[in-house]
Amino acid sequence: MSEVSQPLQHLESWIEARVQAIRADRDWWPCRRGCDACCRHLVHPPELSAAEWTRVDVAVASFPTPIQTVVEQKIEALLRQSVEQTLSVAVVCPYLDEQAGACRIYNARPLACRTYGFFVTRNHDQYCKQIETEVNDRGEAAIVWGHAEAIRHDIERLSGQSITFATHYRDRIKL
Ligand code: SF4
């Protein structure tokens, strides 16, 4: 994806290599196609760096018109909830295909989505029910622990402060 800088691409490649290494000898690791639990339980709408937003915008603009319309309706509904401060405690990502349980912008998905579940920290950051079950069943030694906070800092260092969902969309969408 050329919309992100080379350092960001390197970070993504490094994250992907770690993800593949975890998957290679842990076929039970819960993060895989078909599990969309984290996409349905965001603590807030996406907050991304400018480079990541650009990539998401390009991906959404490339959808066939019917899909684009559906996604834009979800974005608008979420923007309205953000502005009116009526967000649910578990926000469903507007880029999720809820029927298929799959990300519609998979190749353009944010770094946070690439790391979630693979950089699990003992303080339960990036730690969902499925991971919790695995920790309980298999023991801590089976888990590959990560440092999600360090990754967040890397992302900010490479691509700037996060821009909220409301800030990104409110100039584009008339409510
Ligand atoms: S962008 Fe994709 S992977 Fe990330 S939360 Fe949304 S649907 Fe899930």
Ligand 1 contact via 120 beta carbon (within 6 Å): no
Give the pLDDT of residue 1: 46
Query: What value does the CA radius of gyration of the chain take, rounded to a whole number of Å?
Result: 17
1 CA distance to ligand 1 centroid (A)?
17
Per-residue model confidence as pLDDT tens digits over 21-62: 999 999 999 998 889 999 999 999 999 999 999 999 999 999
Nearest to 38 by CA among 76, 90, 86, 97: 90
- Looking at the CA of residue 36, tell me the nearest atom of ligand 1: 8
Q: Is the pLDDT of residue 81 over 50?
A: yes
Q: How far apart are CA 60 and CA 156, in angstroms?
A: 23
Identify the band that residue 80 occupies on the pLDDT scale cut at 50, 70 and 90.
very high
CA angle 107, 99, 133 (to 5 degrees): 80
Ligand 1 contact via 111 beta carbon (within 6 Å): no
Per-residue model confidence as pLDDT tens digits over 105-163: 999 999 999 999 999 988 887 788 999 999 999 999 999 999 888 988 998 888 888 99
**Within a 10 A sphere around the Cβ of 11, how many other Cβ atoms?**
21
Ordered by start, the domain boundaries in the chain are 6-170
Task: Tell me what the mean pLDDT of segment 81-108 comes to.
Answer: 96
Q: How many CA atoms lie within 13 A of 49 on its CB side?
A: 21
Look at ligand 1, atom 4, and give the residue with the nearest C-alpha.
113
Give the pLDDT of residue 3: 65
